[in-house]
Structure 1
Amino acid sequence: MNDLTWAAVAVALLLGIAWYLSYSAARLDRLHARVEGALSALDAQLVRRAEATLELANSGAVDPASALMLAGAASESIEAHNERALEHDLLEGQHFAGREVLESDLTLALQAALSAPVVDELRASEGPGLPALERVEAAGVRVQLARRFHNDAVKDVQRVRRKAVVRVFRLAGHADLPRTVEFDDELPPAVRE
């Protein structure tokens, strides 16, 4: 092979490597965007769950102690969302900065307040309790799905960022490595039945 052929092979190889690096960087960028979208969706579902819980607490369908406990936990969740939205970008650092504890507390409050007898009574009633309970249940399911979707997206980003080519060529730039969101989001057993 002559020099011209070697030069053509070298140029083709360099173009192939450049295309692969560009493709990998674009893919990683899309994955990061997917994580941001999933995090926003999770945040929206958490707010809906807290609002549904407040609706249930204010419906008069549960006893006053349970209503107070539910309202307190839901208000703290909404307050944390509002403070985070006012002070910082939701996606800064790709985490909820302590909201996991508040969301777990809301889940625990729901589990404590919605025992089997209470849920049976709400389902048998004709008042505002049944629609509020159904809204809490639907919001809880959406929170579980949104968290699962977010965590799957985060795991995809983490898997791609572990690749040697991504680390060597710094294809992730200065983007923070996202982390999964872990909190208790189980629906009360009586609601799941």
Structure 2
Amino acid sequence: MVLTSDISSNALLINPDGSTQTCGLGGFLSAMRAAVGVYIARRAIKIIFDEYIHIPIEGIWDLNKEYFKIENREELVVHLYQNFDKSVIGPLCAKLAEAAEKGNRLAQYLFREAGEDLGTMAAALVPKIQPGTLKSNTLNIVGSVGRICRCLKKDFVRVFKRPPYTLRYQFTPS
């Protein structure tokens, strides 16, 4: 089983008989999800506007102002909608990961949410594994998510852990 996140967030299972199963529509197909890093960065930006989760946004707002070289929310709209570019938005995720590791509650919330989503996608495929083929007990997680795995891993594992499987997780940056 492989989780990808560079083009879109998707879980892919390839069984020995060649049958495949997927979970998670690619962001490019559904317009709902994109690469994990882009998704996390967009959520951070959107929360700045919504302020609906009652977690202070100050650190993340400051991070966005510095990253995009802006002063107000109106200037941020251009990056989120009018000139949206994954290659510009996505790298913000690395800055958010640093903030999460330094204890920023909003950044931690964003990574917790993303880790849970990825864990849920992977767990949905476990019952589709052909009986008797789960020998290596390894789930490979590749792509951008590999770079930010320290922030995602705990919640991914918490959601994904499903008896009777005891799996190792191999996070591999692309």
User: TM bucket by the smaller chain?
Assistant: 0.3 to 0.5
More strand by share: 2
TM-score (norm 2): 0.34
Which one scores higher on RCO, CA 8 angstroms, separation ≥ 6? Answer: 1
TM-score (norm 1): 0.32
More helix by share: 1
Q: Which has the larger radius of gyration?
A: 1
